[in-house]
């Protein structure tokens, strides 16, 4: 988690401030953006009717957060709609839950580009289960820079 907080920070990744350890638990101190919902709940509340422009905007933010992780040599490993928060006022997306994150350099892949591609494929699979407006935006999304 500390790697993805490195400069320059990414506004699409939840901020981690620190942690505390006691015999019974580990406590994480993280950003708590309000008002936010998991993307899965946001889509349900909007009954799946997002404009193509909004769907593209959210998808673009997801790709930015995954690219940042990749530049920091972190593979998120758990990209699904419940691990993406969306601010219901600003529509800013935040990637959360790095509990399964892995060091790209320690992974058996063909390099960071493969890891980024895998993360984006995982996010696309999650979004393909989303409403039609997301599927349309995904089908038309442009290539991702490596």
pLDDT tens digits, 36-45: 999 989 988 8
Higher pLDDT residue, 117 or 60?
60
Q: Please spell the DSSP secondary structure of 7-23, one letter per residue.
A: SSP-TTB--EEEEEE-S
Which residues are CB-contacts of 66 (< 8 A; sequence separation ≥ 6)?
76, 79, 95, 116, 119, 120, 123
pLDDT, mean of residues 48-59: 84
Look at residue 126 in the predicted model and tell me its pLDDT. Answer: 64
Q: What is the predicted pLDDT for the residue at 51?
A: 84
pLDDT given at position 124: 66
Q: What is the pTM of this model?
A: 0.74
Q: Which CATH number fits domain 3-140: 1.10.510.10, 3.30.70.1350, 2.60.40.1080, 3.30.160.40?
A: 1.10.510.10
């Amino acid at each position: 988690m500390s790697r993805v907080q490195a400069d320059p920070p990414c506004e699409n990744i939840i901020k981690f401030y620190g942690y505390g350890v006691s015999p019974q638990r580990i406590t994480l101190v993280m950003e708590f953006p309000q008002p936010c919902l998991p993307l899965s709940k946001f889509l349900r509340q909007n009954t799946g009717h997002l404009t193509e422009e909004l769907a593209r905007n959210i998808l673009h933010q997801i790709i930015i957060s995954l690219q940042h992780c990749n530049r920091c040599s972190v593979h998120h490993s758990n990209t699904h709609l419940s691990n993406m928060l969306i601010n219901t006022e600003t529509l800013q997306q935040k990637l959360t839950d790095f509990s399964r994150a892995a060091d790209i350099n320690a992974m058996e892949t063909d390099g960071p580009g493969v890891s980024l591609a895998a993360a984006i494929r995982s996010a696309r699979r999650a979004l393909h289960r989303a409403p039609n407006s997301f599927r349309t935006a995904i089908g038309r999304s442009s290539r991702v820079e490596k």
